[in-house]
Structure 1
Amino acid sequence: MSGTGDFAAKVTGWIEQAGEIAMGWLLSPAAWSQFGLLAVAVIVARLATARLLPAATRFLDPASKIGHIASLRRFALRLLPLLLPLFAYGLTAVGEEVTRAAFGSGDVIAFGKRVFIFLAARAFVREVLTDSFLRPLGRYVLLPVAGLYVLGLLDDITLRLEETIIALGNIRFSVLALIRGVIAGSVLFWLGSWSNRQSASYIKAQEELRPATRELAVKAVEVMIFGAAFLLLLSIMGIDLTAVAVLGGALGVGIGLGLQQIAANFVSGIILLVEGQTTVGDYVELDGGEKGTIVKMTARACVLETFDGKWIVVPNDHFITTRVVNYSDQGSANRYDVPFSVSYDTDINRVPEIIETAVAALPFVLKQPDGPDCELRGFGESSVDFAVEYWVSGIDDGKNKYASQVNFAIWNALKAAGIEMPYPHRVVELKGGAVA
């Protein structure tokens, strides 16, 4: 309670002091002259801004809407509302030096100079900050700080917050350090997020790099940006970085005891990105039966999309420790075969030519690396068994239905040639005479 009373007494003292200063300014002819200089500075700043603003707008308005230079010029256009208060601040600073040199006093001009700083901060928040995160930060942090600076209370408030200590066990820190950490952390991680988005967009636009290389570069830049932001935040908050070493040792023990699988998946993800043997867009099948197109590769797992739209999340270490069948290495051709049978009454020497001609006529069947190949596979109980092999540029994953169209072509070709596709026959012999 005594602390609260002291602070209330201090506030009362500030108010009384402000009243005394105001009365001294109203009764002092020297203060009136400084008010006159402030008015002259405002008028000159307005006239200069009125002449410079149209020319600056024409100069900064980009003719092209594309490119980094155009983006910088558009950002500079948003800074033009700061021209008036900053120009007035500069003129007032010059007037303060002249006044102090001539009369030994310049408190009124110094106060006006701080007011212009507040007006510049207000224009910055209103006109320049458009981000949904930064604008509230400017409104509720920058403007109050600028207001305290105008009133000359910023140093006293800062000292009070610095002296107020919060204790959590053996950990002690001031309220000012906590506030500074929250504000700095918010700004740093917003800046890190923005930088990460910009760098990721730039890296992904480099089409000469392999997709796996691009993904690895994006992850590496992300780790570097947020790692640097974290270390910088610790430095701003005044935390000894030796504590980070202790934390890293504890984290290493935790990984060794309970996070082995997560660490294995993370390292496996890096290996997959570096080797590039399996990457986004490949159609793969794992030993466990999972198969689909890789649509995303993260630090922990790969996401497979099946032909019916389902997503399967497969841990990265499965791609390292088990057998993986990759059907599509950046769109390479794949071979399939379709089995069929004909009757024993068929002249089987005609079958290969009929089937190969019919399958070769299908638009998706390739002639390279090899055309359709009809092979005799064996002699069954009721039929002669054949199979036709063919190459296609893609995966028969259910969406393309290559096998279905090949089966239709085989059926139609055999029917047109008068060749029968048999069904099983059974001969039943009854012994012991007629059945009653």
Structure 2
Amino acid sequence: MNFDLASQPPFVRNVVGYALQGWDIAKGWLLSPAAWSQFGLLLAAFAASWLLSKRLRPLLERFLTPEEGRTSILATIRRFFLIFVPLLLPLLAWAFTGIGEQATRALFGSGAVIAFGKRIFLLLAARILVHEIITDGFLRVLGKFILMPIMLLYALGLLDLATARLNEMTIAIGNIEFTIMAVIRGVIAGSILFWLGRWSNDQTGNYIHKQEELRPAARQLASKAAELMIYGIAFVLLMSIVGIPLTSLAVLSGAIGVGLGFGLQKIASNYISGVILLLEGQATVGDYVELDNGMAGNIIQTTARAMIIESYDGRWFVVPNEDFITTRVINYSDQGSSNRYEVPFSVSYNTDINLVPDIIETAVAKHPRVLDTPFPPDCEFRAFGDSGVEFAVEFWVNGIDDGKNKFSSDVGFLIWNALRDNDIEIPYPHRVVEIRNAET
């Protein structure tokens, strides 16, 4: 059948041309004895691979599966290789097909069919990799929308043609010109590099935070420095892969500098303040702090721009790092230092007040969280009140008297019980009401 394609768009003519070329290749394969022998070798290679993988796979799984609970390096390596066992069948088929390709080329001088079969087996391996092995959501998306289309073009023998066409198409942005292929390569490389950067940053951060000999502030600073270095290297590598010289970013760098000087000065100030806080260790994750405006809570996270504080009523506050530098901040925790509290009380004027300090100090010292250092419990006379003699007991504890800790409440109960056991009266106000000119 003859078709007049002169009036059709170029795209339609190209598609029809490729289809006709494919039909000619298919006819050549169907009518060629060499092609039929290659089809036979493909089937034999697949059958041999299926039988061999059926026997090898249980053995490999048994060998690569470590004992439950093992966390050694060897066990980790074995678990890593275990997840690739599903690739055994297509890789064996690819290897056997490669052997068959050498034989057919030696016998018939042609191996196009069997080479096509090799590419199909690699396509099958890529599909298993994406759908059965990769568990990370981001990598799976890359596999579905980037790796699989590339492998499909490679299997059909169109990858070189598609690459050449994409290299011919360009995009211009100012004085910088990109090819479509460079953009695609940059997207792929950027996605992989920044995923590797995120993974490396997580691993590095976990390793640094396990170094308990370092101060928490030093661990935070080292983690931030490692994060900046990792992503900086990823950015430089991406620029090199895409083909953008770093000197061409000079104008952009100047614009960023102007922005930092005007519109972004607060962000720059907060970032520098965060670095100072990490270096000096004035406040870090886990500390209980109170700001000048009365806001108080535990620092649960530090970022480049701010610190996140969680109060004991469950509210989160995002406080800029600059506030920790320019305003007064009370740090009650200060990396585990103890805190002093006091509980006031009073006794009746009928009491021998010389006995009260020993009684109260002994009772408060029985609390399991009350410390003997830097000072043991200290009961002090405060004043002669309207209704009784006023005292206060001071005590030191590790922790904050809020949230899960009820130090003042516990000490109050101890004081009450001690006074009751020693028959000491706790006074309460007495009022005399005088009524004049009352009618009888």
Aligned to 2:3: none
Cα distance per residue 1:386-405 (max 9 Å; x no partner): 43322233222365343344
Q: Does 1:178 align with 2:176?
A: no
2:270 to 261, 265, 270: 265
Q: Where do 1:32-181 residues align within 5 Å?
A: 32-67=36-71, 68-168=73-173, 170-181=175-186
Cα distance per residue 1:186-211 (max 9 Å; x no partner): 23222322332333333333333332
Instruction: Give the length in aligned residue pairs.
Output: 430
- TM superposition shift of 1:27: 2.6
Aligned to 1:331: 336
2:211 to 206, 210, 216: 206
Q: TM-score, normalised on structure 1?
A: 0.84
Q: Does 1:5 align with 2:12?
A: no
- TM superposition shift of 1:152: 1.7
Answer yes or no: is the 8 Å Cα contact 1:282–1:329 preserved in 2.
yes
1:188 to 173, 186, 193: 193
Counterpart residue type for residue 18 of structure 1:
G
2:297 to 285, 292, 301: 292
Cα distance per residue 1:329-363 (max 9 Å; x no partner): 33333222334456677655454445444444555
Indicate the SS of the match to 2:9: helix
Counterpart residue type for residue 374 of structure 1:
C
Question: Residues 285 and 11 (structure 1 numbering): CA distance in 2 closer, same or farther, change over 3 Å?
Answer: same
Counterpart residue type for residue 62 of structure 1:
P
Q: TM-score, normalised on structure 2?
A: 0.83
- TM superposition shift of 1:168: 4.7
Answer yes or no: is the 8 Å Cα contact 2:372–2:396 preserved in 1.
yes
- TM superposition shift of 1:163: 1.8
Cα distance per residue 1:209-263 (max 9 Å; x no partner): 3322332232222222222222222222222222334323322221121222211
Aligned to 2:226: 221
Of residues 72-81 and 410-419 in structure 1, the stretch that sits farther from structure 2 once superposed is 410-419
Indicate the SS of the match to 1:304: strand
Q: Where do 1:365-376 residues align within 5 Å?
A: 365-376=370-381
Answer yes or no: is the 8 Å Cα contact 1:341–1:422 preserved in 2.
no
Distance in 2 separating the partners of 1:57 and 1:284: 53
Distance in 2 separating the partners of 1:356 and 1:143: 76
Counterpart residue type for residue 12 of structure 1:
V
Of residues 152-161 and 308-317 in structure 1, the stretch that sits farther from structure 2 once superposed is 308-317
Answer yes or no: is the 8 Å Cα contact 2:387–2:427 preserved in 1.
no
- TM superposition shift of 1:412: 6.0
Question: Residues 338 and 189 (structure 1 numbering): CA distance in 2 closer, same or farther, change over 3 Å?
Answer: same
Indicate the SS of the match to 1:133: helix
**Runs of 5+ consecutive residues of structure 2 not aligned to the other structure:** 1-5
Answer yes or no: is the 8 Å Cα contact 2:348–2:424 preserved in 1.
no
Cα-Cα RMSD: 3.4
Indicate the SS of the match to 1:335: strand
2:306 to 301, 305, 313: 301
**Runs of 5+ consecutive residues of structure 1 not aligned to the other structure:** none
Indicate the SS of the match to 1:72: helix
Answer yes or no: is the 8 Å Cα contact 2:347–2:424 preserved in 1.
no
- TM superposition shift of 1:279: 2.0
Answer yes or no: is the 8 Å Cα contact 1:121–1:143 preserved in 2.
yes
- TM superposition shift of 1:158: 1.7
